[in-house]
Amino acid sequence: MKSSGFYRVSRGVKRVLLYLLMTVIALIMLGPFLWLLSTSLKEASYIYAYPPQLIPRPLTLESYIAVIKQLDFLTYFLNSVFITVGGISLNAIFSSMAAYPLARFEFPGKKIIFAAMISTMFLPNSAGLIVNFLTMKRLNLVDRRVAVFLPAAVTVFGIFLLRQTYLKIPGELEDAARIDGASEFGIWWRIMLPLSKPALVTLIIFDFVTHWNSFLWSLIILQDPKKYPLAAALQYLQGVFAYDFKLIAAGTVISVIPIIIVFLVFQKQYMSGMAGAVKA
Amino acid sequence: MVKNIKANRVIMAYLFLIPALVFLLVFRFYPIIAGMILGFFSYDFLGNSTYIGLANFQEAFTDRKFWLAMQHSVTYLLVVPFIQLLSILLAIMVNRKMRGGHIFRLAYYIPVVTSMVAVAITWKWVLKSNGIINSILTNVGLLATPIAFLTSPELALYSVMFVTLWKGLGFYMVIYLAGLQAVPAGLEEVARLDGAKTWQVWLYITIPLLRPSILLCTVLSAMSALKVFDEIFIMTGGGPINSSLVASLYIYQTAFKDYRFGYAAALGFMLALVVGIFTIINFKFLGKGGANRPQ
């Protein structure tokens, strides 16, 4: 009796310690962001104050107003939206189209095409940025915002993900539609697409994170900084405005908020998609 | 008639495939092949290319700066054991059934989804010589002078490594979590009933069953450590005095600052070779004994 009571107490203590440890780790993981957020809401004379204030007093939105009015963050934000929406839509449409015959048809060349796609996962693409830059130059797309999302507009990952999903859709549905006189396009549009919604959502979230966060390719392919998406603009501005950090802090917060919202809303799909993608 | 339908289906198949294939051909297949060939050319910013055989590779072998950068990239592998150990521990912790466990998982994952630009800017601010860490440590009296995390040649590379570790933890945690959930729960229970202590259960049951995940994560993190670019580019730019210059950054500078595309492609190929060698080593060391793969 006594030992079981002791056991229960020690288990309780363990539990509290575990929570404590996990909270400390959570603070390490989120603390820097909170500190940045706090900095962005401070008045200039308080940002180096000691002891550090986590909750700014007085609290001010002047950095955000300055960033939007003087640094034109609305433009960068819209550039990001344009690039992200462009990349996501092309991949969602073209990958889900390409996956259909790969999952459902028999045709000459299928095996070779599939093998070539798999090979891109193993062969090094070490000069990818250079070759893509030269290609864009030849296509006269340098300094155009479309050039930012075109190279990643169709992904092998997307094609694989949708092919896996199509393979699981029962053939009877397809046959029934065919007997009713549906065209191949109709079958893809009315049966395959609606039934693979969860996979499409996963793909869209993944692509959202990729396109929204990418910055290097934008810095290479765009010459006019006014065309930069948020991430590239931040990298560019952090050098220029190093002396006024609260502006950079506010800009960084603006750039991160959409990602955090999308992640929190779609966390389930994202996490399970992540684990599944890596396993495959 | 039947033949017609068949031919029709072949045409349909390609109609569905063509848009995706065009993109993949131009931006995925072509760069792989062209990238290898480019290494044998001298390419200037006017777009004139001349075949120069192995000259780029010969130059690479005597390029001191490249080997220094390569050395730093290999040093970066130090991140791998730390990130693996810590993410396994994190996964075991959050895998427990407990109230609010879900919230912790999300919190640990947030650095993964935020952009490296945002993360690097944030940490630069925190690690500054008059940033919050230094300001607390000096004011409390633990430090006489602030630590130059990012501006001293001895520390810069390691400070950025820490940021890589911090940002990547959640990613590997999720993979290990999936691996843990594939471990039959009964197995650990039985061992515990047989009197095994918690650490014994981990060491003899959980970790061995995680082996496939460990291999996967080690390969992935070693590859990205050798190819590290973003965080270095944003936080130190390779400085001070090249102390954090890594191979990918040097290749980028060769291509887009010096406009020596051919030489950069050759260097990129050599980096890819090193990555390949390390990947093979990982498979050799961690791949054996894969028989106990949980399936």
In which residue are the tokens 């230094």 written?
B134
Enumerate residues 56 to 85 of chain B having a beta carbon within 8 A of any beta carbon in chain A. none
Q: Which of B6, B18, B23, B219 to mutate to test the interface with A (most CBs of A within 10 A)?
A: B23
Report, as an integer, the average pLDDT of A183-198.
90
Confidence of residue B295 (pLDDT cuts 50, 70, 90): very low
Mean of all residue pLDDT scores within chain A:
89
User: Above pLDDT 90, what percent of chain B?
Assistant: 62
Give residue A84's pLDDT.
Answer: 96
Enumerate residues 136 to 165 of chain B having a beta carbon within 8 A of any beta carbon in chain A. 136, 139
Give A184 to chain B, closest Cα distance, Å. 7
Chain B residues within 8 A of A28 when measuring between CB atoms: 166
CA distance A227 to A229: 7
Task: Inspect the interface and report whether the beta carbons of A97 and B233 lie closer than 8 Å.
Answer: no
Flag whether residue B13 sits within 8 Å of chain A, measured between CB atoms. yes
Flag whether residue A142 sits within 8 Å of chain B, measured between CB atoms. no
Nearest CB partner across the interface for B115, out of A36, A51, A215: A215
Residues with Cβ within 8 Å of B148's Cβ and at least 6 positions away in sequence, in order, are B129, B155
Report, as an integer, the average pLDDT of A128-144.
93
Report, as an integer, the average pLDDT of B68-86.
96
Report, as an integer, the average pLDDT of A65-90.
94
Confidence of residue B289 (pLDDT cuts 50, 70, 90): very low
Nearest CB partner across the interface for B115, out of A50, A255, A271: A255
Tokens describing residue B245: 């210059």
- Check whether A110 has a pLDDT greater than 50: yes
Report, as an integer, the average pLDDT of A196-208.
91
DSSP string for residues in A252-266: HHHHHHHHHHHHHHT
The three-class DSSP label of residue B51 is: strand
CA distance A228 to A74: 11
Task: Inspect the interface and report whether the beta carbons of B38 and A15 lie closer than 8 Å.
Answer: no
Give A131 to chain B, closest Cα distance, Å. 5
Which has more confidence, B13 or A47?
B13
Give A275 to chain B, closest Cα distance, Å. 5
From A95, which residue of chain B is nearest by alpha-carbon distance?
Answer: B20
Q: What is the DSSP letter of A169?
A: S
Query: Contact B93/A21 with Cβ under 8 angstroms?
Result: yes
User: Above pLDDT 90, what percent of chain A?
Assistant: 60
In which residue are the tokens 């396109």 written?
A211
Report, as an integer, the average pLDDT of B205-210.
85
- Check whether B211 has a pLDDT greater than 70: yes
Task: Inspect the interface and report whether the beta carbons of B175 and A100 lie closer than 8 Å.
Answer: no
CATH number of B65-292: 1.10.3720.10
Mean of all residue pLDDT scores within chain B:
89
Task: Inspect the interface and report whether the beta carbons of A130 and B169 lie closer than 8 Å.
Answer: no
Which has more confidence, A121 or B56?
B56
Residues with Cβ within 8 Å of A244's Cβ and at least 6 positions away in sequence, in order, are A44
Confidence of residue A8 (pLDDT cuts 50, 70, 90): low
Confidence of residue B267 (pLDDT cuts 50, 70, 90): very high
Give residue A132's pLDDT.
Answer: 94
Give residue B194's pLDDT.
Answer: 84
Q: What is the DSSP letter of A53?
A: P
CA distance A5 to A1: 6
Enumerate residues 185 to 244 of chain A having a beta carbon within 8 A of any beta carbon in chain B. 188, 209, 212-216, 220, 231-232, 234-235, 238
User: What are the residue boundaries of the structural domains of chain B, listed by start?
Assistant: 65-292
Flag whether residue A68 sits within 8 Å of chain B, measured between CB atoms. no
Task: Inspect the interface and report whether the beta carbons of A215 and B31 lie closer than 8 Å.
Answer: no
Confidence of residue B293 (pLDDT cuts 50, 70, 90): very low
Tokens describing residue A211: 């396109």
Nearest CB partner across the interface for B175, out of A32, A263, A278: A278
Give residue A146's pLDDT.
Answer: 95
Query: Contact B229/B249 with Cβ under 8 angstroms?
Result: yes
Confidence of residue B2 (pLDDT cuts 50, 70, 90): low
Nearest CB partner across the interface for B117, out of A116, A235, A279: A235
The three-class DSSP label of residue A75 is: helix
Nearest CB partner across the interface for A98, out of B17, B113, B170: B17
Flag whether residue A18 sits within 8 Å of chain B, measured between CB atoms. yes
Q: pLDDT digit string (tens) for B241-266?
A: 999 999 999 999 999 999 899 999 99
Give residue B180's pLDDT.
Answer: 87
Give residue B294's pLDDT.
Answer: 39
Residues with Cβ within 8 Å of B174's Cβ and at least 6 positions away in sequence, in order, are A271, A274, A275, B91, B109
Give residue B256's pLDDT.
Answer: 92
Q: Which of A19, A22, A163 to mutate to test the interface with B (most CBs of B within 10 A)?
A: A22
Confidence of residue A2 (pLDDT cuts 50, 70, 90): very low
Which has more confidence, A112 or A12?
A112
Report, as an integer, the average pLDDT of B32-49.
85
Confidence of residue B18 (pLDDT cuts 50, 70, 90): very high
Task: Inspect the interface and report whether the beta carbons of B117 and A36 lie closer than 8 Å.
Answer: no
Q: Of B238, B206, A3, B235, which Cα lies nearest the Cα of A11?
A: A3
Residue B277, classified by CB atoms within 10 Å of its CB into exposed (0-12), middle (13-18) or buried (19+), is: exposed
Give residue B272's pLDDT.
Answer: 94
Q: pLDDT digit string (tens) for B132-182?
A: 999 899 988 888 888 999 999 999 999 999 999 999 999 999 999 888 888
Give residue A6's pLDDT.
Answer: 59
